[in-house]
């Protein structure tokens, strides 16, 4: 199991790379939009400079920013040509039209990371189309599990959020009625575990990335579910590395030694 950093922030990326535990980087348009305005290619170039300085050869996923298949295809080819980095994967969102793009890119030996997958069947179709990586959104899968809970308190939310919740609840109900989804499909542990079982048998060359982590416990559970890779926002690294009992015992060791050495 590998840990990737989910960030476009240059400082966060460099701090993680310097510590050696990160084996890849994933970015997306929303993460890039949080950074100071710059040319897209320039910012990705700076990330690549950090990779070459600290961890040459690790993975980098860069996402397209279009829903139009022709534009996606052109952007993907531009990424490969302009960035010229062998371990680059192009992130393409899951979708009916996007499957054709994934197939075309894979036929040209371009590594595709199919992103925004929420269900086992989405992952199966992405893998069959030729994606090298399939990214499941752990936290967002679980969000759908909580729609009914939120609906019980719908009177406490604003009209805009109420409309969104009501629409999601309707879509979820319709999908379950026609057996497109079942209740287990809103449990990210189940989704990743079952996808891993299928991939191991049918698509052993395809790796599962779990993203949309909401806590360090999510990271642990995503690993236990069978993720090949977990991409983690830097804000959770401190929780992952810290433990109050570690602080206690290290403090005790140093205190005991200081008394002995003097």
Q: Among the options 2, 37, 91, 132, which is catalytic? A: 91
CA dihedral (162, 164, 170, 176) positive or negative? negative
- Other beta carbons within 10 angstroms of residue 23's beta carbon come to 15
What one-character DSSP code corresponds to residue 130?
T
- Outline where DSSP puts E strands in the chain: 2-6, 24-26, 59-63, 88-93, 112-117, 133-137, 207-211, 229-232
Q: 106-134: b or e for each residue (b if 16 or more CB lie within 10 Å)?
A: eeeebbbbbbbbbbbebbbbbbebbbbbb
The pair of structure tokens assigned to 62 is 């860069």
Annotated catalytic, 91? Answer: yes
**Which of the residues are catalytic?**
91
């Amino acid at each position: 199991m590998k840990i990737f950093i989910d960030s476009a922030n240059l400082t966060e990326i460099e701090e993680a790379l310097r510590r050696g535990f990160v084996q890849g980087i994933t970015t997306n348009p929303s993460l890039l939009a949080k950074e100071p305005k710059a040319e897209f290619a320039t910012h990705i170039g700076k990330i690549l400079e950090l990779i070459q300085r600290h961890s040459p050869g690790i993975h980098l996923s860069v996402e397209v920013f279009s829903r139009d298949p022709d534009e996606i295809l052109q952007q993907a080819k531009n990424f490969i040509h302009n960035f010229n980095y062998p371990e680059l994967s192009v992130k393409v969102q899951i979708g009916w039209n996007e499957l054709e793009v994934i197939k075309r890119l894979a036929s040209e030996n371009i590594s595709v990371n199919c992103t925004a997958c929420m269900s086992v069947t989405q992952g199966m179709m992405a893998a069959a189309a030729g994606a090298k990586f399939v990214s499941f959104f752990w936290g967002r899968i679980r969000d759908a599990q909580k729609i009914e809970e939120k609906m019980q308190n719908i009177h406490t939310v604003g009209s805009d959020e109420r409309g969104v919740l009501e629409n999601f609840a309707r879509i979820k109900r319709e999908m379950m009625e026609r057996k497109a989804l079942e209740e287990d499909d809103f449990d990210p542990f189940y989704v990743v575990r079952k996808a891993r079982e299928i991939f191991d048998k049918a698509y052993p060359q395809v790796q599962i990335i779990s993203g949309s982590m909401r806590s360090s416990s999510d990271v642990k559970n995503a690993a236990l579910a069978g993720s090949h890779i977990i991409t983690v926002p830097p804000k959770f690294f401190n929780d992952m590395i810290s433990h109050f009992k570690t602080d206690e015992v290290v403090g005790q060791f140093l205190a005991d030694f200081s008394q002995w050495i003097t």
